[in-house]
Amino acid sequence: MDEKILKWLFDIHFAGLEIEDFLNQHKIESAIDYSKNMLLKKAIERNLEIIGEAINRIVKKDETFYNIIPESRSIIGLRNVIIHAYDGISDEMIWSVVTYHLPILMKQVSVIITNHDK
């Protein structure tokens, strides 16, 4: 695997871990809790931007990752919404992403990184 792709996969991994740590440290258990913490929201959105940009770079370098990470287009789309259409972001949407979709992505990335080491 290309070293840049591996680096970007680690960027995704660490950004995802940081989001998980933020939620645990602040004891955020619902979209309502999430919506009340502006600093946390900005930190999570920034990490989602990083994840989206890393995915974008990966698929530009190797289009087979569209199949390896099937939600690539949606992840890149979320990044674009956060950056360019920030007023279209809802707390419920971000909460859904971090509670339902991020754990799946984290597993996929972990498998890819682990298989690279073999």
Residue 117 included in any domain: no
Rounded to the nearest integer, the mean pLDDT of the chain is 94
| Cα distance between residue 44 and residue 70, in whole Å | 22
**For the whole prediction, is pTM greater than 0.85?**
yes
Are 107 and 68 in contact by the 8 Å Cβ rule? The answer is no
Q: What is the pLDDT of residues 75-93, one digit of tens each?
A: 999 999 999 987 888 999 9
pLDDT at 65 over 90: yes
Find out whether 26 and 37 touch, Cβ atoms under 8 Å: yes
Q: What is the pLDDT of residues 33-59, one digit of tens each?
A: 999 999 999 999 999 999 999 999 999
Dist. CA 58–CA 77, nearest whole Å: 14
Range of the domain at 74: 3-112
Domain assignment present for residue 118? The answer is no
Q: Is residue 91 part of a domain?
A: yes
Give the pLDDT band of residue 107 (cuts 50, 70, 90): very high
Question: Domain tally for the chain?
Answer: 1
Can you tell me the distance from the alpha carbon of 64 to that of 54, in angstroms, rounded to the nearest whole number?
A: 15
